[in-house]
Structure 1
Amino acid sequence: MYRYKGFDSALCGDSMVALEAMVNAWMEEQQPRIRQMCQSMRGEHILLSFVYEDTHQLEQRVAAQKQVGTRSSFSRFFEEEHVDERPTVPRIPATPPPLH
């Protein structure tokens, strides 16, 4: 899920150093996967906008998918009797027969 985070330079007295420190602190703490960034003016102030994915949520989602995928693949081969219901099709040999 994408999220939005905005930083307004008015909140830090229009100090670029303070704005940079706020953005860096957020990035270090949240470690977002930034998808889009925009810088715009709001009157005399700078507005930084980020669209990002929360990496913690992303890691949890990936871990959950791996667990589900592992369980379903193991259950398919070890817990259930697997029957191949595809029609029998003659197979092409891996090596062609010798020519005489």
Structure 2
Amino acid sequence: MYKFKGFDSAECGDSMSALEAMINAWMEAEHPRIRHVCQSMRGEHILLSFVYEDARLLEQRVAASTQTGITGGFPRIYDEDLMDERPTSPRIPATPPPMH
């Protein structure tokens, strides 16, 4: 699920270094997976908006899917099906078709 986080330079007295420190502290604490960033002006103030995914939630989902047998986003049954593939399979020819 995507989340939104906004930063307003007015919150830090329009100091660029203070704004950077706020954003860096958030990134270090939350480890967001940023999907979109937007910068805009509100009068004399800079607004920075982030659309992100919570990295911890993503890691939990991946761990849960691994425990249930889903790897790479595909159920385990597909992995087993691919293991049964032989070079002589009708889906994958052993030799490429001739070039004309």
Superposed pair shares fold, TM > 0.5: yes
Instruction: Please say if 1:5 is aligned against 2:28.
Output: no
The CA deviation at 1:61 is: 0.6
CA distance in 1 between partners of 2:65 and 2:43 (Å):
46
TM-score normalized by the length of structure 2: 0.70
Where does residue 87 of structure 1 map in the other structure? none
Where does residue 67 of structure 1 map in the other structure? 67
Matches within 5 A, 1:72-87: none
CA distance in 2 between partners of 1:68 and 1:42 (Å):
48
TM-score normalized by the length of structure 1: 0.70
| Structure 2 letter corresponding to 1:62 | V
Matches within 5 A, 1:19-98: 19-69=19-69
Aligned length: 78
Partner deviation per Cα, 1:65-88 (whole Å, 9 max, x = no partner): 111116x85xxxxxxxxxxxxxxx
| Structure 1 letter corresponding to 2:45 | H
CA distance in 1 between partners of 2:58 and 2:3 (Å):
12
The CA deviation at 1:54 is: 0.3
Partner deviation per Cα, 1:9-60 (whole Å, 9 max, x = no partner): 0000000010000000000111100000000001110000000000000000
Asked which structure has the greater CA Rg, the reply is 1
Greater strand share, structure number:
2
RMSD: 2.4
Give the unaligned 5+ runs of structure 1: 74-90, 96-100
Q: Between the two proteins, what is the percent identity of the paired residues?
A: 71
Q: Secondary structure at the match of 1:14?
A: coil
